[in-house]
Amino acid sequence: MFRLLAVLALLLAGLAPASSGAATWNLTSFDGREYVPLTDVSQFYKLGLRFNQAGAQTQVLLASPGRSLRGTVNSKELFINEVKFILSFPLLAVGDMVYLSRNDLTKLIEPVLRPHRLRNLGAINTIILDPGHGGHDRGATSAFGVEKDFALDVALRAREMLRRRGFRVLLTRQADYFIPLEERTRFANQYRDNGLFVSIHFNAGSGVGTGIETYLMAPRLVPSYNGDGAPNAAELQQWPGNVCDPENMALATAMHSAMLSRLPLDDRGIKRARFHVLRMNELPSVLLEGGFVSNAEEAQKIAQPEFRRSLAEAIVVAIDNFKAATQDQPATPPPVARGEPGQNLDQIIREARSLSPAAPAPAQSSGTGPKVSVPSQN
């Protein structure tokens, strides 16, 4: 419960007007990728910045009352209010500065810290629940049951709870039959203007695999979490699911924190991938892994109705919190940028959504980079 309250405090903290101290973003390019120094992040979001040397590791903490971000140089793991996120690219140390990728600033930090500023959402009134697998596709199996049945049970429970809250709830399948992935996304995209998509799964792996994880669509030029690190054609393409990159992150944050508060399982983090139901969805979408069916101890828990009811409750709470954080408070339009029009943070976010990425600067730059005007935010 503490972790949920902490993350909710973080999400809702963005709803209160606050002026930002940073006047500029000092963009710097390394190996053709743009970065911002953590000093700029600290100033803009009003977070104190501290470094700690633990052996060979440099640990980073950005914090203010009610919210904290901590990570380690050369690592992709970032903890926001003690919930694990997986960055697109590791924190980078050059000289006496530590840098965050511009992609992670606009598509992770910004939508998590200020979800009320998302501009790509209609009035949320429709929820698409997608129970994974079905029919001949059983999914992960154990002596206690199979993934397809567990996923459908969670979806049916969540549907009733959401209906009582006034949502229109649609399921991609309502019984034990097979639905192709293409049909699932085709069905969901009918509700792109006012819907959310939640795909429900359970994990499989080695017998020691444990914990919950939440997936969202990987942004363009960002490797999938389960990739081998080598660039591929999928990373270069702008997929339908990239339309909602910031909204996906805000929804994933709400889902993952709600699951952590209700399920007695380890935190495997919020991750990016290009699963079909994420890359072809034009509405905010997440894929949940509610534990490991392949782990005997965890499979026993998943087989209990109380566990599946808790997961359904987490989905409902997350949707309520997402809607409250993004829509239930009026969002003030950003002020007009002065000096260098088109270069405030909101336009950086829009730029990150576009089909054409900014042209890369020369590799291995060691300077402070061009200064980009950012007006005070209200």
CA distance 130 to 158: 11
Interstrand relation of 285-292 and 195-203 (parallel, antiparallel or unpaired):
parallel
CA distance 279 to 258: 24
Which residues belong to the active site?
Answer: 289
Q: CA–CA separation, 45 vs 201, rounded Å?
A: 35
Residues 297, 207: Cα–Cα separation, whole Å: 10
Q: Are 212 and 256 in contact (CB under 8 A)?
A: yes
Q: How many CB atoms lie within 10 A of CB 252?
A: 29
State the pairing for strand pair 168-171/126-131.
Answer: parallel
Q: Which residue is listed with tokens 């009811």?
A: 309
In order, the DSSP letters of 197-223 are EEEEEEE--STT---EEEEEEPPTT--
Question: Which token pair is 104?
Answer: 């992670």
What does the block give as tokens for 72? 């380690």
Q: What is the DSSP string of 53-114?
A: EETTEEEEEEEETTEEEEEETT--EEEETTEEEE-SS--EEETTEEEEEHHHIIIIIHHHH-
Residue where the block lists tokens 């699963």: 275
**Coil, helix or strand for 19?**
coil
